[in-house]
Structure 1
Amino acid sequence: MTQARDGGDSTAGESGPVRGLPALLTVAMALSMLPLFLLGALGPYLVEEFDIAAPLLGVVVTVGFAVASVLSLMIGPAVGALGPRRCLIGMFGVTAVMLAVFAIAPAYGWLVAAVAGSGIGQALANPATNQLIATRVPAPRRAGVTGLKQSGVQLGAFFAGLPLAALAAAAEWRIAVGLAAATALLAAFAALIVPADRQPARLPVLTAARPRGDAAWLAGFSVLLGAGISAVNTYIALYGTSQLDISAGVAGGLIAALGIAGIVGRMGWSAVAARRGLPGALLAPLALGAVLAALLLAAAAPFGSAFAWVGAVGVGAFAVAANAVSMVTVITTARPEQVGKDSAVVAAGFFAGFAVGPPALGMLAAAAGGRYEAGWLLVAVEFLGAAGVAWWWRRRRAA
């Protein structure tokens, strides 16, 4: 990534500022990740419904994020060719269809297919929303809007872990997922408020964005960060029900707590990053805070479930927030025309981490007879590795 030119500010008026755009982008991020959060929040129901072993839940997550990771590298350049508004509407539409398939899935294979298809929406989300921010939002507001829209990811975690999990407990998990599908369809129509892209859509060249410069370092950081976050998202509810004697409905609250902390953390730390002007400097400290949170999750088994609640909040406040700060770094340092490609590279790293994290923890838990302490220690090591990458990158950049 190269330093953005002052002249890039003029792109904020490509189609003029749009009232309600920050809220719409926040909803986009929430819905793009919702299928994965639903896997975690509804994990106890899905394991029973489809009669599968717990590690197979991690396989579903891996498939979804593997698709998202591969497509992210190609979709970044495609957003520039098709236009961010068209891609935003397409993301909502794809997500609605895949959530509907999730809701009616008659067998495990259908569930895998639905989550794999949702990877298309995940791959579109960051490049499209970041490009809209870079071209429709004045420069002084970009960091704040980025923090707000990135908090949408954890808004999705909150809704999966609390209202939708509660609906699943009171009625049926399929009804909860169906409601999410209807919400995504409504969001597709709401996206029509965004003024049309000025440039006509052109056939995208099928090239992959290449990791280079700052984007490559941020992608490496995101692989390790994503591996830890996804493992927590996928297995924390099962950890609660299997080892901490928490009911399935209450265990979903762990994901909701993580989501609320993530919303506050993303907005708060993004604001700090904007004031300091050097968002990358926050990445290593945030990753170290996440290490402590993972250790608290491990401590919950011998010392009580209270440690799990504090650990979940810590993962949201530090690890999840670090992802938002990495996106602020992309938007504030890249040239406007490069934002989509660099966002895609960093998102691909994050999704790659999300693909490997759950199966790694699932295999450790299975080898330990269904106990998760070793898995949480692995998560702590992953966060520590992310801190090391961020620290090394900052040293090289300052040299």
Structure 2
Amino acid sequence: MTLIAGRDSVCQGALGAVTLVGMGMGSMVPFAVSALAPLVIAEFGWSRTRYGSLITLTFGVGMLLSISAGKYADSSQGPRSLLYLLLASATTALFVLSSGTSYAVMAVGAAVGGAAMSLANPSTNKLISAFGAPKQTGLLIGIKQSGVQVGTFLSGVILPPLATLFGWRVSLRIAGAIPLICAFMVVLVVPSRWPSMRSSQSARRPVGIWWLMGYAYLMGGGLSAATYYLPLYAHERLGFANSTAGIFLSAVGVMRIASRVLAGHYANRIHDESWLLISFSGIAAVAQVLVWLAETSGAAFLWAGSLLLGTSAVAWNAVVMLVVVRRTGFGSAGHATGLVSLAFYGGLIIGPTLFGVIVDRTNSYGTGWFVATLHFVAALVVVLVNRHSRVSVG
């Protein structure tokens, strides 16, 4: 049975489920590492910086392998083997991490997790390009992009209680079994071969992708700074308790899931997605200013800014991936996705590091939030420049 190969609602629903799982499993490792940080640090006596470097390593490997993973997705013989490699990488990473007795072993697990991450976007975009009904492409992209947030939520909700009961190693092994279970779903619903390509879907070089890469890098840099430092900012400057910060993060997470699904669905109904991207970066800049003002104006500004960030600085990803699938076609969807992912992961790595250095040296969050705001404004300018160049050429 190859359920996702059809164009009816049941088949398209199965395709959405498969791609959501692919994104969730591909991004599970860094979020699992983050969720279990207190227990692992307590056992090994590591500094926060050293433990955090495992997450940086995962994103770094994901960035370095993005282009190769994209090309592999385009040259693979079938979707089933592509997903098997993704799921096997995730499982291997989690089991290696669970058996870690030193930093070196943990680093190997984190690196393998980066390989899984590099495959997530190219493989799922390729699946949607091959089997997605054109009218459902945007919704499918939104659903599959929300897989990252679903994986984050589940890692934070499930792994810490399991670690408390059975230890962090057992909790990681339980998590490592999830991709294996998902592999059975792949057998049931995913074809072993790609469909025959139509002439309009033939491989073509990803042209005009550079502005998307610039946009992804800038939005990733601004978003990652806000994501990693908002809880600490809320605690240190606004006096949030840890429990309140948890509720705060959960609310933002729910907004992120909903915004990606809705953004993809809406973007599929319009011809020119650039205005949507301009809106997202503009709203993100305003939201970042609200977060900045919260230190002197109160917690209401933090809540408003954070929720706006959850609907803007995250939703753009679904729209960009829709543009990639629309503009490149089946033959090069993987390669183009790899290029955009390379830029995005670069922003995710550099953004928090730059923010942390600025805050430490100036002893002020305000300067850091200002730089994050500049990222969003620069992303807006990138889209405007691309629009102007297209009009000039036309």
Residue of structure 2 in register with 1:71 after alignment? 65
Alignment of structure 1 residues 141-290 onto 2, 5 Å = 141-164=136-159, 174=169, 176-198=171-193, 213-290=207-284
DSSP 3-state at the match of 1:320: coil
Q: Which moved more, 1:317-326 or 1:229-238?
A: 229-238
Find out whether 1:294 has 2:260 as its counterpart.
no
Distance 1:110 1:233, change over 3 A: farther
Q: Deviations over 1:18-63 (max 9, x none)?
A: 4622112112112222323345555555555554554445533332
**Cα distance change, pair 90–23 in 1 and its aligned pair in 2 (3 A):** same
Q: Distance in 2 between matches of 1:377 and 1:58?
A: 24
Number of equivalenced pairs: 378
1:382 and 2:392 are equivalent in the alignment: no
Q: Which runs of 5+ in 1 are unaligned?
A: 1-12, 201-208
- Given that residues 100 and 177 in structure 1 are in contact (C-alpha distance below 8 angstroms), is that contact kept between their aligned partners in structure 2? yes
Shift, 1:156, TM fit: 2.1
- Show CA shifts across 1:224-259 (max 9, x none): 111122233333334444444444454344433332
Partner of 2:20: 26
Partner of 2:208, secondary structure, is: helix
**Partner SS state of residue 196, structure 1:** coil
Amino acid corresponding to residue 311 of structure 2 in structure 1: A
Specify whether residues 196 and 270 from structure 1 end up closer, same or farther in structure 2 by C-alpha distance, changes over 3 A only: closer
- Describe the shift of the 1:312–1:239 C-alpha distance in structure 2 as closer, same or farther (beyond 3 A): same
Change (3 A) 1:187 1:373: farther
Cα deviation digits, residues 38-92 of structure 1 (max 9, x gap): 4555555555555455444553333222211121111111112223321112111
Look up the match of 1:337.
331
**Alignment pair present for 1:393 and 2:386:** yes
In the TM superposition, residue 135 of structure 1 has moved relative to its aligned partner by 0.8
Matched, 1:118 2:113: yes
**Structure 2 unaligned blocks of 5 or more:** 196-202
Compared CA separation, residues 260 and 356, structure 1 to 2 (3 A): same
1:80 paired with 2:67, answer no
What amino acid is the match of 1:384?
A: V
Q: 1:215 to 1:108 in 2, by over 3 A?
A: same
> Over aligned residue pairs, what C-alpha RMSD do you find?
3.1
Query: Normalising by the residue count of structure 2, what TM-score does the alignment of the two structures yield?
Result: 0.84
Return the alpha-carbon distance in structure 2 between the equivalents of residues 249 and 210 of structure 1.
51
TM-score (norm 1): 0.83
Counterpart check, 1:361 vs 2:355? yes
Conservation of the 8 A alpha-carbon contact between 2:139 and 2:262: no
In the aligned structure 2, how far is the partner of 1:72 from the partner of 1:289? 29
Deviates more, 1:244-253 or 1:114-123: 244-253
Sequence identity, in percent? 30
- For the residue of structure 1 that corresponds to 2:268, the secondary structure is helix
Whether the 8 Å contact between 2:206 and 2:335 is mirrored in structure 1 is no
Match of 2:307 among 302, 308, 313: 313
Structure 2 vs 1, CA of residues 113 and 227 (structure 1 numbering), >3 Å: closer, same or farther? Answer: farther
Distance change in 2, residues 1:242/1:40 (3 Å): farther
**Structure 1 residues 191-249: Cα deviation after superposition (integer angstroms, max 9, x where no partner):** 2223333269xxxxxxxx99963211101111111112223333333444444444445
Q: Which amino acid aligns with 1:279?
A: E
One-letter amino acid of the counterpart of residue 53, structure 2: V
Q: Distance in 2 between matches of 1:197 and 1:326?
A: 28
Conserved 8 A contact 2:74-2:333? no
SS in 1 for 2:269: helix
Residues 254-285 of structure 1: CA deviation (Å, up to 9, x unaligned): 43333211111111121221111222321111
CA distance change for structure 1 residues 352 and 66 in 2, over 3 Å: closer, same or farther? same
Change in CA separation of 1:271 and 1:14 when aligned onto 2, cut-off 3 Å: closer
The equivalent residue for 1:328 is 322
Letter of the 1:159 counterpart = L
Q: Which residue of 1 aligns with 2:200?
A: none
Structure 1 residue 373 displacement after superposition:
3.9
AA of the residue aligned to 2:178: T
The residue that corresponds to 2:199 in the other structure is none
Give the conservation status (yes or no) of the 8 Å contact 1:63–1:355. no
Q: 1:233 to 1:143 in 2, by over 3 A?
A: same
Q: Which moved more, 1:289-298 or 1:34-43?
A: 34-43
Given the superposition, is the C-alpha separation of residues 164 and 350 from structure 1 closer, same or farther in structure 2, using an over 3 Å criterion?
same
Counterpart in the other structure of 1:128: 123
